[in-house]
Structure 1
Amino acid sequence: MNKKIMSWSIVASFAGFLFGFDTVVISGADKALQILWDSSDFFHGSVVMAMALWGTVIGAIFGGIPTNKIGRKSTLLIIGVLFSISALGSSLANGPWVFAFFRFIGGLGIGASTIAAPAYISEIAPAKDRGRLVGLYQFNIVFGILSAFLSNYLLSDIGENAWRWMLGIQVFPSIVYTLLAFYIPESPRWLLTQSRTNEARVILDKINSKEDVQSVIDNVHEDNKNNSSDENIFMKKYRFPLILVFLIAAFNQLSGINAFLYYAPRIFGEAGLGAKTALLSSIGIGFINLIFTLIGVYLIDRLGRRKLMIFGSLGYIFSLTMVAVSFYLSWTGMAVPMFLFVFIASHAIGQGAVIWVFISEIFPNHLRASGQSFGSSVHWVLAAIIPSMVPILFSNFGVGNVFSFFAIMMVFQLAFVLFMMPETKGISLENMNANLNK
């Protein structure tokens, strides 16, 4: 594999590290913030805990605009600035509304990153390696999650302001990422959609043979010729990819993954584990997530997207059902953590490895950012709603019933994969778009 493609992909995918870290670092401050500001379950869940997710929704809805207008690279730079401001501001906040404001800014960065980073990587990657290169974004998400769980554990005993250090430490990787993003080139496919052929050719010459360069340019120009710049993703010809994106994004959150990541220590506490053991079990979740994401990234261009989704769906159904049973029958000890380890492994090798790759593949070049914006918006609207309701749902319906609902949703996901989802492994972006958008 071309070293430049790999290095540029690694830098772009590091936005995923900030995404993962920012998403779950709040779990370590969960109960401390509720006690500090004496918040009700509703206010704590929907404002303090979920404000970053609402920012993510806005970032996902509107992140396609800068990604299309000013380019993938410039948007990636803006994302780094947003994460830096959010980490510093939330760590210094002196009240819940100021805290929520800075968490919202971080959410904007997360939402935009789910559009710009996968789009950038998919557009520089050769078809045969596209799955694992875009998969680097997911790997960095789970690496960020693990780092946040580990950081929270190490900082948990430093005093009453431990939560400030947990949140503030993200300033350092945010600044490093922003500096690195200055040195990656713009996406050549985006440049071609802007009729900046000479600039695109310079970049393509660095990563392709002369024959491949001209082939990419010709294919993108042909794709542009066949698709009007006035088109949008809601046209009849794009109905099938739109439905695919909607369903894969919705099922991702209907598994309960973000609800679990946000409230892992609380869920372990409900299962009877002590506070310190709960934090330690959260680190175990991070390690399992990382290991099985690596396996998923390794297999995605070998077995394909559909097979990984089938494996993941079956694992979801088993693990979520057993977590529900554990709460129904009041099993104590390590029963719930062990089944949740299976749950996180199933997510990592299935939805986790596939979602951002799949969404980045199935729309044509001129609509890729818009298609990803739609998919990310569906994903993050549900990711905001579900975790914000967790404290209330647990209190009113019981943990077992909540996990039973997630298990049923994963039966529907399995049906979607078996009967609707196409395989996209090894197909060039332009050829795939031609097949799907007939």
Structure 2
Amino acid sequence: MSFDKLDTPADAKKLQKFQRKVAFVSAGGTFLDGFDLTIIAVAMPLILKNWDVTAGEQSMIVASAIVGSFIGASWLGNLTDKFGRKAMYIVDLLAFVVFAALSAFSTGVWQLVIFRFLLGVGIGADYPISATLVSEFSSTKSRGKSGTFLGMMWFVGAVVAYISGILMLPMGDNAWRYMILLGAVFAIIIFIFRLGLPESPRWLVSKGREKEAENIMYELTGHRTVIEPDTEKKYPLRYLFSSTLFKRTFFVCGFWFCYAIAYYGISMYTPTLLSAFTKGSLQETYLASSVVSVLGLIGALIGSNLVDNWGRRPLIITSFSGLTIGLLLLALNPHPTLAFLVILFSAAVLFANMGGGILNFVYPTELFPTSIRASAAGFATSVSRIGSILGTLVFPNFVAWWGNSSALWFFTVIGFCGLVISVALAPETKGRKLEDINYYAKGS
């Protein structure tokens, strides 16, 4: 099954318009992920100002959504392979709406932790669902750019979170509530646009529903195709750890785990770290933090435009090289200025997002068979969430024990580990059909 060759330019234009719609609507989910996970970092200085929050409670508030995303990715990714891409694609948005709103009206720390955890379940679910659907609807030529577009929109969401913080700061003590509530408003809009999308033909074929798949292909491409029954063996989740796929599984989980520790450990506390250098000015803190976030977005944009031309492998190796060097320079300076921190944080995040931060939406959906594609992406996401949890829980404690500079050595080592994994295991998949990538993986 392919979306690569069409009979007429009109058919091609019609299909490309639909593929753009799938990419944009799916990217709405990753936009929400970036917004909802970042907005808590933006809101945290105000929460600390209004509530009596201990260091441990602060870590729990920041980490709660990430812990929830671990559950959502591992559980709902598997359900996506069982019940379909479309059903879970719509349902998970409801969690964004309901629990973002409830988080905004929390009256205490533990209410906020619980509602953010449940919001995180929806966040975790959307990673494998959106990435899988985009991958299965994309043409071979543009699959990498479509997938990395999802990753790029995560960082758009992060930038919007900082802009929202700056704009809503004058609203007073409850400004943090309005910041969080805005996520529910965005989710309602995206939910409406998702309602009209069809099921993935590849998933329908994997379930023996060829006629339904043929009808969708006709609607999308403008010509009739006869789809043969799927002869690919249906694999259980444990096949990810077989001798055939273990290297791929280890690579995807390994590089994403390392990226998540470094990125979340630093980015979730960027406003808190920089506030010490802005003499308590939240306006200056948000502006400095937004610079870091914008550079991260630029890195994702650069990577998105290189992925289908330069290739996945050189991109991810360059990404971890730049991240590691940036963290090393930060660790070597025990008494940085605000300008130095902003420049080096920005450089580290730019390189990190250029590869590791966007290829986590590409590699997991390319390297595994259709029958377990969403499950594999969900498993990799859940492993990355463990890294995110470690980063958000470990970093503030390391800073308290050793100071900022010493704590950054930990993240430098993690970045180097990601580099080693990428050099040793990163495959090149540009220009290859999903079926071909997995055909050779099975040694056929």
Partner SS for 1:29:
helix
> Aligned partners of 1:207 and 1:294: how far apart in 2?
28
Conserved? CA contact 1:5–1:207, under 8 Å: no
Deviation at 1:349, TM superposition (A): 1.1
Q: Hey, what does 1:146 align to over in structure 2?
A: 159
Q: Return the letter of the residue paired with 2:193.
A: L
Q: 1:383-437: CA deviations, max 9, x gaps?
A: 1222023221110121112212211222222222222211111111111012223
Conserved? CA contact 2:237–2:376, under 8 Å: no
> Aligned partners of 1:390 and 1:195: how far apart in 2?
48
Conserved? CA contact 1:240–1:437, under 8 Å: no
Deviation at 1:64, TM superposition (A): 1.6
1:252 equivalent among 245, 252, 259 = 259
Q: Hey, what does 2:314 align to over in structure 1?
A: 307
Between 175-184 and 23-32, the greater mean CA deviation after superposition: 23-32
> Aligned partners of 2:393 and 2:412: how far apart in 1?
19
Q: Structure 1 residues 318 and 189, CA, compared in 2 at 3 Å: closer, same or farther?
A: same
2:362 equivalent among 357, 361, 365 = 357
Q: Hey, what does 2:300 align to over in structure 1?
A: 293
Deviation at 1:295, TM superposition (A): 1.5
Q: Structure 1 residues 227 and 164, CA, compared in 2 at 3 Å: closer, same or farther?
A: closer
Q: Hey, what does 1:58 align to over in structure 2?
A: 71
User: 1:342-353 to 2 correspondence within 5 Å?
Assistant: 342-353=347-358
Partner SS for 1:331:
coil
Deviation at 1:209, TM superposition (A): 7.0
- Say whether residues 1:239 and 2:246 are aligned partners: yes
Deviation at 1:68, TM superposition (A): 1.6
Q: Hey, what does 1:173 align to over in structure 2?
A: 186
Q: 1:57-112: CA deviations, max 9, x gaps?
A: 11111022321222111111112110001111011111111111211121011100
Q: Hey, what does 1:320 align to over in structure 2?
A: 327
Conserved? CA contact 1:85–1:105, under 8 Å: no
Unaligned runs of 5+ in 2: 1-12
Q: Return the letter of the residue paired with 2:194.
A: A
1:40 equivalent among 51, 54, 73 = 54
- Say whether residues 1:195 and 2:202 are aligned partners: no
Partner SS for 1:169:
helix
Deviation at 1:150, TM superposition (A): 0.7
Deviation at 1:365, TM superposition (A): 0.2
2:271 equivalent among 249, 265, 278 = 265
> Aligned partners of 1:77 and 1:134: how far apart in 2?
19
Conserved? CA contact 1:76–1:117, under 8 Å: yes
Q: 1:24-55: CA deviations, max 9, x gaps?
A: 0001221332343312111221x222111111
Q: Return the letter of the residue paired with 1:221.
A: D
> Aligned partners of 2:110 and 2:235: how far apart in 1?
45
Q: Return the letter of the residue paired with 2:156.
A: F
2:387 equivalent among 376, 382, 398 = 382
Conserved? CA contact 1:153–1:280, under 8 Å: yes
Q: Structure 1 residues 101 and 437, CA, compared in 2 at 3 Å: closer, same or farther?
A: same
Q: Structure 1 residues 230 and 286, CA, compared in 2 at 3 Å: closer, same or farther?
A: closer
Conserved? CA contact 2:326–2:347, under 8 Å: yes
- Say whether residues 1:416 and 2:421 are aligned partners: yes
- Say whether residues 1:74 and 2:79 are aligned partners: no
Q: Hey, what does 2:42 align to over in structure 1?
A: 28
Q: 1:113-168: CA deviations, max 9, x gaps?
A: 11100000001111111001111211211111110111011111211111111111
Q: Hey, what does 1:129 align to over in structure 2?
A: 142
> Aligned partners of 2:379 and 2:183: how far apart in 1?
28
Q: 1:147-202: CA deviations, max 9, x gaps?
A: 01110111112111111111111111100111111011111111111111111112
TM-score by length of 2: 0.92
> Aligned partners of 1:165 and 1:388: how far apart in 2?
26
Q: Structure 1 residues 338 and 229, CA, compared in 2 at 3 Å: closer, same or farther?
A: closer
Give the alignment's Cα RMSD to 1 decimal.
1.9
Unaligned runs of 5+ in 1: none
Conserved? CA contact 2:328–2:412, under 8 Å: yes
Partner SS for 1:126:
coil
Q: Return the letter of the residue paired with 1:375.
A: A
Deviation at 1:205, TM superposition (A): 2.2
State the aligned residue count: 428
Deviation at 1:15, TM superposition (A): 0.5
Q: Hey, what does 1:332 align to over in structure 2?
A: 337
- Say whether residues 1:221 and 2:222 are aligned partners: no
> Aligned partners of 1:3 and 1:373: how far apart in 2?
28
Between 22-31 and 274-283, the greater mean CA deviation after superposition: 274-283
Q: Return the letter of the residue paired with 1:160.
A: D
Q: Structure 1 residues 231 and 93, CA, compared in 2 at 3 Å: closer, same or farther?
A: closer
Partner SS for 1:426:
coil
Q: Hey, what does 2:22 align to over in structure 1?
A: 8
> Aligned partners of 2:160 and 2:109: how far apart in 1?
25
